[in-house]
Structure formats: C-alpha cells, structure tokens
Amino acid sequence: MGRGLFVTVLGVLFILSVDLGTAHTSPMEDPSLGGAVFTGPTHGHASSFFVNPAALGLTGRGWHFHIGGSARLSSLTLKRTTIGSDNSLQPGPTVDDSTISPGGILAYYASFDEGKYRFGVSLYTPTWQRFAEDEPGLGYHSSGGQIIQTMLTLAGSWRFTSRLIGGLGFSVGFSSLQLKFSRDSVLDGGSDSISGTGSDCGGTVCGYENALAREEYDIQVGNRAALGDLAGLKNFSASVGFVYRIGHDSWLGMGYVALPGAFETLTLSGDASITLAPRDGGGTVSTNAEIGFGMAQMAFVGYRRPTFGAYDMVFDLRWQDWSRHNQFDIRLFGADNNPNTPEWIPRHRGLRDVWRVSAGIESDDKEAYRFGARLRLESAAISNEKHSPTLVGGPNLTLATGAELRLSNHWAFSMGYEISLFPSTNVQNSAFDPREQVACVDSAFEFDSCEAARNGLSFATAAGEYSFIQHGLVMSFRYDSL
C-alpha cells in the first residue's frame, strides 16, 4: 500500500510538471549525476558529495577511493529551414552532427567513530557540454566550443540516530566557457542597400547567411587567477541533505545542491578573436571579453526499499531551476579600436525548470556481482520555438542499465550505459529570426521593435526538423579498505 501510494505521488508530480506542447533537454550534465544505476539520494556513492552528502553515511566502514569517467554521445540530424533574400522561408541543408562530451570524478571518503561520522573530498565535473562544430550549416548558432564546471567539494555526514543521517558539503567551482559562432554582419545595416541585407555581396544581393558577410567569433573565458575572483560568491555552492531509515531497511533521502552561478550571476573573463567578413576585408581582431550567465539549483528526493529477495526498488524525483540559465551575455571591449566590433552580443538560451522522475530495480551490495536498471522521464525545459542546434530534444525516455563486479576483497569495478530517446520535432515558427534585427535597425532602434535583439534571438533562424538521440557511458573503479 505504502509503495503504491509513493509511486502514485511521483506520477502525479511528473504529470503536473510536463508541458506536452514543448520540448526540452537538460544537456549540460554528466550522465552519472544521480541518474545512473547505483547513484541517487539514497545511495552511498562518490556522487553523493553532490547529490546528497547525507548518503555518504550509507557507505561501508573504513576508507574508500573512487575514480570514474563518463562520456555522452549526442547525435543530431537537422533539416534546416532558411530565409531567402525575399524574406520567405525555404528548405535549407540537412546537417548531421555527433558530439562527445566527457566527465569525471575523483573522490576519497572515510568513516570515523565506528561509522558515526564520514568525511571526504571530491573533484567532479557535473557540467561538461561540447557544442556542435565543423558544420557550416549550424555555424550561426555554434561552430564549436564547450562549457565546463569542475567542483572541489568537502562534505561529511553525521548519524544523529539509528535512523537519521544528515549531511553537508561546501564546494568551490572552476568554470570555463568557449563559444565559437558565426555572425551575419549585414544585419548591422538593416535592410539598406549600402551595408545591409540589400547591399552587394559579390555581384548579388547579400540577403541572409551570405558567406561573404560572415564573421567568425572565438571567445574563451574563465575564472580569473586572482584570489579575489576565485573567492567570489559566484564560484561557491553548498549541498545539504538527509536520509531516514523507514522500517527495517528502507530509506528516504532528500538532497539539495547549487551549481556555481546559482546564487550569483557567473561572470567569466577572457579574450576573443574575431575574423572579419570577406566583404569587410577579412583579417583578425583581438578583444577582451566577459560572459555572464546563471546556473541551476537542484533538489533530489529518493526512496529505496528491499523487494524481490536480493533486489531493491528505487524511486527518484529531481527538480532543476534551469530558468536561471536564460542567455549568454557577451561583452566585448578593447577591440583594436575597430568601430565595427559590437560591444554587446546576447545569445539566447531560454531554459525553463526541469522535473525528472525515475524508477528502477537494483541488486543489493552483498553479492560479488550487482545489476540494476532504471527508467527515467523528464519534463520540458525549452519551448518548441526556442529549439536551436545547441539546445534540442523533446520530452525524453531514458533506459539506464549497469553492473558492478567485485574484483577482489578491496577492488570493485562498475559500468553503466543509458540511451535517451527523443521524439522528432518540427520547428516552424522559430523564435530565432534575423528579420527581427533588420526591423530593429530600420526603426532606428525603437524600443518595442528591438525586443528580440535585446533577448539574443535576432540572428539565424533555427527552424527545421530535429531528430536527436543521446547515449551515455559511465565507468569507475573503487577501492574499499575494509
């Protein structure tokens, strides 16, 4: 009865959170982030530093060393729709792109005072996303680059009673971001025939996405080495949680964590290299750069109970407030005194909050060989019209499987695989539209005519048919002293 009620509650919460008319992805995270087999808010695992530090109290006695890696393969097929010189939509190229994003975790944790306390340290990359590259058809949205966040975390758990364990962790994050993209320089001139879309490009009207008017940007930013920058609130985060034993051997767990940039906008500094359009003479311009953006907070709820003999049933619910990640706010300055270099380039992201629910079955840790499988569903985080080559997908269904093999009394090896299936999505009315930039310039930058430009949406259309599939692989070795 209790288990059925719990499943019903999770199902209702998921239904309430899903907007069936939208599409989403939560594309920036390591696949082992609480979603892989043997991980989560009720599991003693190296990722507990991040998901729920109280779950460290469920690890074995002695000390443990964990090293793990992950890889996420994202495959996109996009049948683009482009805008012709007459402002009409027309079929564009079909682009196939596959991108591999890695991840990793290194952790040491140990028990003290007969297991009442556990403390440890971890180095983890919860965020690592590589953007599509070497595809000219996607270049106005992405020509490459990546976003990486590495977190150094100190965490511990305290067993308050035989049933209740609390946990707390503090992290400092090191963030870096590289954005490579093309920019259509004719949009700065509006629709005029001198420098705008009506001007000449090699004997023809430039229109949109003309190779002769294409500028190339390579912007690389990160945390400054200065102590004052590294010690800023924007780089810090905290994790807190508890696990509570219900009955003989069932566990309820809750955890909260914030990524660096969740408490305060993450502003990263660096440099940019700009290759001017061929019609503007080509050449390279160097500039200083700053990019600001927000990152998510996350809350986890999990329940695990023995069933089917040596197997546990596992249920998890997660919330992420990705609505903080609205755009990359790019500021350029000191560009060789070139008056044509823009000082501000907003790049829209437009994520919304994400809910995820999962259920699965796993064998317990008393055997030399363990096996588990989970089924996951996620809610919408980005609307259909805001699809782009850097943010794609629809409400997805993920199947995750994994196994752990005890190699000796001290060493254990685990491996997991997951596949996420996304429905094909047809974006007809893309929120990205270069005609909005032309209208803004032609209106002499009248406020109401420039809303899309202010929000970073007034560049190449992202309309088209999207097909997307994602694979994840995680592997790890763990040494247990006892």
State yes or no: pLDDT of 373 exceeds 60: yes
Q: What is the pLDDT of residue 203?
A: 92
CB atoms within 10 A of CB 90: 10
Query: What's the mean per-residue pLDDT of the chain?
Result: 88
Distance CA 430, CA 423 (A): 18
Q: Which of 4-18, 313-327, 415-429, 455-469 has the lowest mean pLDDT?
A: 4-18
One-letter identity of residue 402? G
Q: Is the pLDDT of residue 21 over 50?
A: no
Residue (of 368, 376, 375, 482) closest to 414 by Cα position: 368
Q: Does the CA dihedral 44-48-49-53 come out positive or negative?
A: negative
Among 39-43, 68-72, 85-89, 314-318, name the one with the lowest average pLDDT.
85-89
pLDDT recorded at residue 231: 66
What pLDDT does residue 18 have? 35
SS3 call for 185? helix
* The model's pTM: 0.88
Q: Which two tokens stand for residue 264?
A: 């305060």
DSSP character at residue 378: E
pLDDT tens digits along 203-219: 999 999 999 999 999 99
Q: Is the pLDDT of residue 27 over 60?
A: no
**Cβ(274)–Cβ(215) below 8 Å:** yes
Percent of the chain, pLDDT > 70? 91
Q: What is the chain's length?
A: 482
pLDDT band at 309 (very low <50, low <70, confident <90, very high): confident
* Greater pLDDT, 121 or 60: 121
Strand 425-427 and strand 411-421: pairing? unpaired
CA dihedral (136, 140, 145, 150) positive or negative: negative
| Residue 393's pLDDT band (cuts 50, 70, 90) | low
- Least trusted range by pLDDT, from 26-35, 62-71, 286-295, 305-314: 26-35
Is the pLDDT assigned to residue 154 strictly greater than 70?
yes
What sign does the CA torsion over 246, 249, 250, 252 have?
A: positive
Residue 130 in this model has a pLDDT that exceeds 70: yes
Structure confidence at residue 334 (pLDDT): 82
What does DSSP say about strands 327-333 and 284-293: parallel, antiparallel, or unpaired?
antiparallel
Q: Which range (23-37, 272-286, 301-315, 354-368) has the least confidence? A: 23-37
Beta strands in 84-206 (DSSP E): 89-112, 117-130, 144-159, 164-184, 200-201, 204-205
The answer for 223, left when phi > 0, alpha when psi is -120 to 50, beta otherwise, is beta
Task: Please answer whether residues 380 and 24 qualify as being in contact, where contact means their C-beta atoms are separated by less than 8 angstroms.
Answer: yes
* pLDDT tens, position by position, 39-68: 999 999 999 999 999 999 999 899 999 999
Domain ranges of the chain: 2-480
Question: What is the CATH architecture assignment of 2-480?
Answer: Beta Barrel (2.40)
